[in-house]
Amino acid sequence: MITVRSWAILGMSCALNACTVGPDYQKPTLEMPAKWTLESPWRVSTPKDDAPKGAWWLKFNDAQLNELQEKAIANNPTLAVATGRWELARSALNAATAALYPQMSANIAETRARISSQRALTQNDKPLYTTTQSETKPVLGVSYEADISGRVKRTLELSAASSEQVRADLENIRLLVSADLATAYFNLRAVDIEIDVLSRSIALQRRALDLANARHDLGATSGIEVSQQQALIDSTLTQVDILKRQRGQFEHAIATLIGTPAPSFSLPAMVTLLNPPKVSIGVPSDLLERRPDVAGAERAMAAANAQVGISTAAYYPSFTLTSTYGSQSRDDSTLFSGPAFIWSIGSSLVQPIFDGGRIAANIKSSKISYDMAVSSYRRVVLTAMQEVEDGITGMTALERAHTQATAATASAQKVLNLANARYEGGVASYLEVITAQQALLVSQRLVAQLVGQRLLNAVFLIKALGGDFEGMSQARTEANTPSEQQTAKEPALRLVSQ
Q: Could you list the beta-strand ranges (E) of 259-412.
A: 318-327, 341-350
Q: Domain ranges in the chain?
A: 19-112+160-310+371-497
Confidence of residue 75 (pLDDT cuts 50, 70, 90): very high
Residue 43 has pLDDT above 70, yes or no: no
Give the pLDDT of residue 365.
92
Say if CB 160 and CB 93 are below 8 A apart.
yes
**Counting Cβ atoms within 10 Å, is residue 26 exposed (0-12), middle (13-18) or buried (19+)?**
exposed
Residue 284 has pLDDT above 80, yes or no: no
pLDDT over 70, % of the chain: 82
Residue 148 has pLDDT above 60, yes or no: yes
**Counting Cβ atoms within 10 Å, is residue 391 exposed (0-12), middle (13-18) or buried (19+)?**
buried
Residue 48 has pLDDT above 50, yes or no: no
| 365-416 tens-digit pLDDT | 999 999 999 999 999 888 888 888 888 888 888 888 988 999 999 998 899 8
- Asked which of 38-52, 355-369, 398-412 is least confident by mean pLDDT, the reply is 38-52
Stronger pLDDT, 163 or 222, i.e. the higher one: 163
Domain at 19-112+160-310+371-497, CATH from 3.20.20.70, 1.20.1600.10, 1.10.645.10, 1.10.357.140: 1.20.1600.10
Stronger pLDDT, 190 or 495, i.e. the higher one: 190
Give the pLDDT of residue 247.
93
Residue 475 has pLDDT above 90, yes or no: no
| 227 CB neighbour count, 10 Å cutoff | 12
Q: What DSSP string describes 334-372?
A: GTTSGGGEEEEEEEEEE-----TTHHHHHHHHHHHHHHH
